[in-house]
Structure 1
Amino acid sequence: MHVDIGRSRLLAAVARHGSMTAAADRLAYTPSAVSQQIRKLEAELGLQVLDRHAKGVDLTDAGRAVVEHVAGIERQVAALREELEHIRGARAGTLRLGTFPTFGASLLPFAITSFTSQHPGVSLSVRSARLTGLLELLHTREIEMAVLWDYEWSRLDEPGLSIQQLLLDPTRLVVSAGHRLAGQDSTGFAELAQERWITRADRHPVVDVLLRTCQTAGFEPAVAFEAHDYQEAQAMVAAGLGVALVPQLALSGVREDVRVLDLGGQAPARRIMLARSADRAPSPVGTAMTRILREVVRSEAARGGGRQREPGPS
């Protein structure tokens, strides 16, 4: 059985206004057009919905059932409109965000705090992974957007992604508090040729940073230890085993027994980006998070966080 919603709503208007003539006046129909539509509804249902008599019309049992269900549908439609308005205004919905560990441990918590404060009705979930894992999550649409990174010699050229640059994350030198350079604010690689180095294990990207920078300066680095995270690297530096190159974002928690030196741009900075699928329009909540991430980056730059920001498409 086919039930036409438009004709059912017309029947509800007849019941609400008391007659077909009154309903026609309110809806800018002719009485004959209303009568014709009601008869078509009765033909579709195989039941009479109006009891017609000299004083007007009354609903039959079938007519009352139709009107009651129409009222329920209209309440659901009203609730849907309200929910869509909440989603349009980023007051409701779901945002699934991807990040990598050093961004998750440094700037992202500020963005999450701001986002959840401004958009308490939004369900936010965060996935942390290495670069390849984040790309897979984007392509399988398990996340809507992700914070990614790359270096100048391995630019991310991933088909199907729309990328916006958030900031440049410079590389710093970490030395022990007792190191001969500990009293300086900056140094150059000419002073580091005889140093022993703490680097990352498992062919971490910072290994390439170290090799390329040292080779450009004319020497090969002598690696003393391969750490599995930056806190372990700092601990080995503090113990005097060597010095280390570390991205600025990985220095959100600096030990008291190490010192951080600027390298004057001699070591490459990594590009931090926000990416989403190019064929996926930004959602209102995704747009809101993008705005907040940019605000956090600007705030950190204003506080002298040592990070260079170059926003915009890339």
Structure 2
Amino acid sequence: MEISQLKYMLTLAKHLNFSRAADEVCVTPSSLSQQIKKLEDELGVVLFGRTTRSVHLTPAGVEFIENAQKVLSQISEINVVMQKYIVGESGNISIGNCPALGAYGVTSLIASFQKTYPKISLQFYEAECFDLYPLLCNGKIDVAFLTAFDKCKPGKIPLESYPLVDDELVIIANTSHPFASREIIDLHEASQENFFSFSKSSGLYWDTIDACHLAGFEPRFSYETQYTDTILGLVSEGMGLAMLSSRTVTKNLQKNIAVIRFRPTKIRTLSVVFQKKQKPLPIILNFKNFFINWIKTNELRNTPFNSKSNV
């Protein structure tokens, strides 16, 4: 039994005339009659009664038509569903994100994408920047949000990145620290201070290293952690200094913490990163185009750190 035969049956049942039905399905009347006879022989029942003057459905034909309509309707629904995959409106996207994603305001963009494509399922994998690279290059994730795309990126797998948000690195210190009364310092003044560090797979670790090297010294790290809350707690107790994204600090201000800008300024950028492919999957292309179009029409980038904050 073929789908075309089901369509021939429905058309003949509508017209009860071989010539008119054949015209609608663009075949000859004899060809239409042969296909109907072939189907009847296959099923072992007569579906249409024929006389020299008329064509009519048999009881078996009536029941066949009812079921054929359901089958073709289901096939049509399947085609509609599959078309959504073809155009990238259904499916799954695996997203790798660094822990600071919320502070950069990108979660609202992802939510907006989800509203635009409600049939797409999003899966999130949170890890530090350099832990996400292998997942992206191995195809374990489809896209990554990285704050250190320009550092230590793999050379064998071509990647493409689109910068979303620029942010300024700042120093946080206890409010009793001598730096706390100043709005901005020369970073070299902190060369003898103890810094708390994020893990070496974190973009913040390498940004801190770069900023201190640019100021002419090697930072003295006294404690390493993966958690912002831990560093904020230690700094609030006066146990050392730390460098954080100004956006992260603004989102997580705590008592007894002062925020100090420094020279030379260190800017870090959050980018959305994909594997570079000649023919990306439609669903990934839709995700990419959503963010590219957003970048073209919005100015979340280059948001300055407005003021020093003491809590």
User: Relative to structure 1, is the Cα distance of residues 282 and 105 closer, same or farther in structure 2, using a 3 angstrom cutoff?
Assistant: farther
Residues in 2 aligned to 1:19 and 1:157: alpha-carbon distance in whole angstroms: 69
Any conservation in 1 of the 2:164–2:301 contact (CA below 8 Å)?
no
| Cα deviation 1:55-109 (Å, max 9, x = unaligned) | 3223345544543332112211332354456668887654443212111454233
CA contact (8 A) 1:148 1:275 kept: no
8 Å CA contact 1:97–1:146 kept in 2: the answer is: yes
For 1:280, the aligned partner's letter is P
- Asked if residue 21 in structure 1 is aligned to residue 22 in structure 2, the reply is no
CA apart distance, 1:154: 2.0
The farther-off stretch of 233-242 and 275-284 is 275-284
- Structure 1 position 280 matched with structure 2 position 255: no
Please name the residue that 1:187 is paired with. 185
Distance 1:160 1:216 in 2: 29
- The separation in 2 between residues aligned to 1:69 and 1:141, in whole angstroms, is 44
Structure 1: which amino acid aligns with 2:162?
Answer: Q
Give, as a single letter, the amino acid of the residue that structure 1 aligns with 2:39: L
Residue 118 (structure 1) shift: 4.5
**2:144 maps to what in 1?**
146
SS in 1 for 2:124: strand
Q: Mean Cα displacement is larger for which, 80-89 or 243-252?
A: 80-89
Whether the 8 Å CA contact 2:173–2:257 is kept in 1: the answer is: yes
For the residue of structure 2 that corresponds to 1:178, the secondary structure is: coil
Measure how far apart 1:285 and its partner are: 5.5
Count the aligned residue pairs.
303
Q: Does 2:112 correspond to 1:111? A: no
Work out the CA distance in 1 between the residues paired with 2:273 and 2:43.
55
Output the aligned Cα RMSD. Answer: 3.6
1:8 aligned residue = 6
TM-score between the two structures when normalised by the length of structure 1: 0.77
CA distance in 1, matches of 2:63, 2:99: 58
User: How far apart are the structure 1 equivalents of 2:211 and 2:135?
Assistant: 32
Letter in 2 for 1:246: L
**Paired AA for residue 127 in structure 2:** A
For residues 141 and 45 of structure 1, what CA distance do their matches in structure 2 show?
Answer: 49
1:235 matched residue in structure 2: 233
Aligned-partner residue type, residue 198 of structure 2:
R
Secondary structure of 2:24's aligned partner: helix
Which aligned pairs between 1:244-255 and structure 2 lie closer than 5 A? 244-251=242-249, 252-255=251-254
Equivalent AA in structure 2 for residue 187 of structure 1: I
Deviation at 1:189, TM superposition (A): 1.9
- Tell whether the 8 Å contact from 1:169 to 1:272 is kept in structure 2 after alignment: no
Rounded Cα–Cα distance in structure 2 between residues aligned with 1:219 and 1:142:
38
CA deviations 1:267-293 (Å, max 9, x no partner) are: 463553332563532417525753586
Q: Which runs of 5+ in 2 are unaligned?
A: 307-311
User: SS of 2:107's equivalent?
Assistant: helix
Distance 1:256 1:280, change over 3 A: same
- Counterpart of 2:268 in structure 1 is 269
The residue identity in structure 2 corresponding to 1:234 is: L
Q: Work out the CA distance in 1 between the residues paired with 2:138 and 2:47.
A: 51
Per the TM alignment, residue 11 of structure 1 is displaced from its structure 2 partner at its CA by 1.5
Moved more, 267-276 or 175-184: 267-276
SS state at 2:132 partner: helix
d(CA) in 1 for partners of 2:95, 2:201: 26
* Corresponding residue SS for 1:218: coil
SS in 2 for 1:191: helix
Shift of 1:32: 2.4
Normalising to structure 2: TM-score of the pair? 0.77
Give the secondary structure class of the aligned counterpart of 2:281. Answer: coil
> Do structure 1's residue 56 and structure 2's residue 57 form an aligned pair?
no
User: Which 5+ residue runs of structure 1 have no aligned equivalent?
Assistant: 307-314
Q: Percent same amino acid among aligned pairs?
A: 22
2:175 to 174, 177, 184: 177
